[in-house]
A and B are shown apart, each in its own frame.
Chain A
């Protein structure tokens, strides 16, 4: 089958690879009909995530048709149209029972590797390094889905792919980010990063009762999207000092809730940001925590910092004194996608939200390498791309 494979920094290829097959009794195989490129795929594209191997298949935002089911699968049948969460979860361990699906104890075959790096292993993910499971990704014609009764949600209605595909990651991720922010009535919420996760965090913040949402980015089309679809006020950080502007907009209090929807590849301005870039290149630092630092500085005393943006390893110069002395709460984690599938599908079906507003590009899988470039360079107004295998 055809698949998009990783070969190193900014080197993604279309290659012929073996078709996956059923391995364990709870597996299903889906024929992928649509799969998106995620902002976190760019962390792989930039070679920021350890334990990738040349030839790994990328992708973790899939939907498709079930073509094979293992002997233990009960809820899926051949021909079902499903959206598959990026988190692989067994459904049986203590964490899954607590609905902390991204912390599943059993789904990472390389748990020992993750344990040596982080102390404990989180859930396995599709196409996101060997430390995070080593499972082949979804930017391919077929995908093996382990624990098929726990992850995929069957789409019974005739909603188009564009409206349901983003349940696989970015819509639930933005929603959980807003939920983690503990938003209360009259709160002002600041969201750093207006990519797909940021856009859904903005909309979800409103759904959860925020009074005002302030969106921060440097690309006009993304800020326009946040204003038009997310009813947000906006700050372009290349034009204005974010701290000064936020204090001005909030009477000096700072935003009550801050959401870092950027993560490890943050672009900053000034000397500190330049120093982070150099340290990262020299492998002295794994992440560029520019947004994290700024959000800590800006957040209202006693406020909440929610971090859906993906971080990889060590960060330098994190002002933890400010976190402590300002009494901030930090909430983070990979998304417990399974927890949000049904409620958010209900919202889509009820017409509360149409997630397809973030989709700017669609291309056949063969054009994947070019679409990675376009997305990475933020050319052509690219926010979110669907690939069609």
Chain B
């Protein structure tokens, strides 16, 4: 199966940094200026490094910059990001438009094999009987985390909601919604995922240790889902040759 992996070499994600609403006072402006500076430095340094880690650094910097500059359109053809922080929870919502009917997309999302393919960039996903999936993420130094999710609500052709048990190692929940896009554009698919929902302080440490960045996970999962259903495959750099060898991590 086609996979790429960016989770292992990632910088701590921007989405994990609290970004509470700020009034436009001096402190807010200063914080914004500092954020801009940090984002800029990450982009420049990241691009200069010319390494996988550097690329990810640049990517993170770009996201930080984008947030500080307020560049986060709520809707667009190919995706949008609106990370929010409520209490200790890290939640992200991303949208993508896919040129297939909502019902087909709903059915594809419901297929455990699809989940295994589109989440393959950060987790191994295995079906555990009706409505349940087992997720395993490889952390640093052989430290693995595993949890189960269960579909707790669904409206065929419209939405699916899943959740882990409250005492899971990494408490998390997710929702995907399907709604018609204008004209012949297909369906707008909106994915919300949240690691460590309110109340899960143990999970919080686990999520940080695993370096889970909901924004990167959601964005990639959606584009992989779109590629899979539209073109029948996920674009891949597996075995991509270079003087570094075979295969590319980024």
Residues of A whose CB lies within 8 Å of any CB of B are 1, 3, 5, 7, 13, 15, 17-21, 23-26, 50-57, 72, 90-94, 97, 105-113, 115-117, 119-121, 124, 130, 133-136, 140, 144, 146-147, 283
Contacts and interface: CB of A to CB of B under 8 A. Distances in A.
A53 B245 CA distance: 12
Interface in B43-63: 44, 47, 50-52, 55, 58-59, 62-63
B114 to A, nearest CB: 16
23 contacts: A18-B239, A18-B245, A20-B240, A26-B231, A52-B50, A53-B51, A56-B243, A90-B230, A94-B77, A94-B186, A105-B230, A106-B226, A106-B235, A109-B236, A109-B237, A110-B250, A111-B223, A115-B78, A116-B58, A116-B59, A116-B66, A130-B55, A134-B250
Contacts of A121: 78
Interface string B219-239: 110010011001111111111
A55 B235 contact: no
B56 to A, nearest CB: 9
A13 B237 CA distance: 22
Contacts of A283: 44
A26 B50 contact: no
Contacts, number: 145
B78 A91 contact: no
A383 B148 CA distance: 61
A120 B66 CA distance: 13
B250 A24 contact: no
B47 A50 contact: yes
Given A55-B243, A116-B58, A136-B241, 8 more contacts: A7-B243, A18-B241, A50-B47, A90-B230, A91-B231, A110-B250, A112-B223, A147-B231
A51 B241 contact: no
Shortest 10 CB-CB contacts between residues of A and residues of B: A55-B243, A116-B62, A90-B231, A18-B246, A106-B227, A55-B244, A109-B235, A24-B233, A92-B231, A5-B243
A108 B78 CA distance: 13
A125 to B, nearest CB: 12
* Majority DSSP secondary structure for residues of A touching B: loop
Contacts of B59: 112-113, 116
Contacts of B185: 94
Interface residues of B, number: 48
A90 B51 CA distance: 28
Contact of A51 (B47, B97, B186, B232): B47
Contact of A135 (B66, B223, B231, B237): B237
A103 B246 CA distance: 27
Given A94-B185, A113-B55, A130-B250, A140 B233 contact: no
A21 B241 CA distance: 9
